[in-house]
Amino acid sequence: MVSHSSKHSVKWVLNSSIEQYRSPYVKVFDDALALPGNKQIIFTRIELKDFVAVVPILKSKIVMVEVYRYPINEWSLEVPCGHINDNEPAEKCALRELQEETGYLARKITNLGWYYPQTRSAQKSYIFLAEDLVKDKPNPDKTEQIRIRIFATKKAYTKLESGRITHAPTIIALHKFMTYRPLLRS
């Protein structure tokens, strides 16, 4: 039995777990849990690959991508993002995704932190700042339709604050960047 506990001594005990679905991108489990007071519940848990979000800075401008998102049938304005391959360090993934999606190589990469993007998953999203960029050729995945967009940081911030940017990892990454480098807003 697995016991999950926090610094507040709340314990949930895993009694059993049944895998309901699996693909290369997601696994879905129904976990039978015993909560404090012996309350029994079924908790649907999702396993997703960790991913990175990269804020690329090119001479005080932000390199972004418009990505076609099939589930919403729309183009989404985002920073480069991508799943971390098995045993791949997050920093290496950030450099790879930046090159694949934008065609830029970064000579300097800074880890700005990480967060949990979902409440039903232990998936992590790592945020990186990419600087000192050198142009190369993009190499997007076969399922990615991407248009590269470069904005003055003030314009990118305006798009963020106006709600034009709706991709949650991009919203978080840009806010993190703006607190890391607040003077670049202007």
pLDDT at 186: 47
Domain spans of the chain, in order of start: 2-48, 51-185
Per-residue confidence (pLDDT) for residue 9, from 0 to 100: 65
Structure confidence at residue 183 (pLDDT): 52
pLDDT at 159: 96
What does each of the 186 residues of the chain score in pLDDT, given as a tens digit?
445 545 566 789 999 999 999 999 999 999 999 999 889 999 999 999 999 999 999 998 999 999 999 999 999 999 999 999 999 999 999 999 999 999 999 999 999 999 999 999 999 999 999 999 999 999 988 889 999 999 999 999 999 999 999 999 999 999 999 888 765 554
pLDDT for 181: 75
Taking each helix axis from N to C terminus, what angle separates 168-180 and 153-162, rounded to the nearest 10 degrees? Answer: 130
Q: What's the pLDDT at 26?
A: 96
User: 74: which residues sit within 8 A by CB, 6+ positions away?
Assistant: 68
Spell out the CATH class of 51-185.
alpha beta
Nearest CA-CA partner of 128 in 185, 170, 166, 159: 170
DSSP string, 71-122: GGTEEEEE--EEEPPTT--HHHHHHHHHHHHH-EEEEEEEEEEEE---SS--
Among candidates 137, 162, 167, which has minimal Cα distance to 66? 167
Per-residue model confidence as pLDDT tens digits over 140-169: 888 899 999 999 999 999 999 999 999 999
Please return the burial class of 47, using the count of CB atoms within 10 Å of its CB with bins 0-12, 13-18 and 19+.
middle
**Helix (H) or strand (E) run with residue 165 in it:** none
Res 141: pLDDT? 86
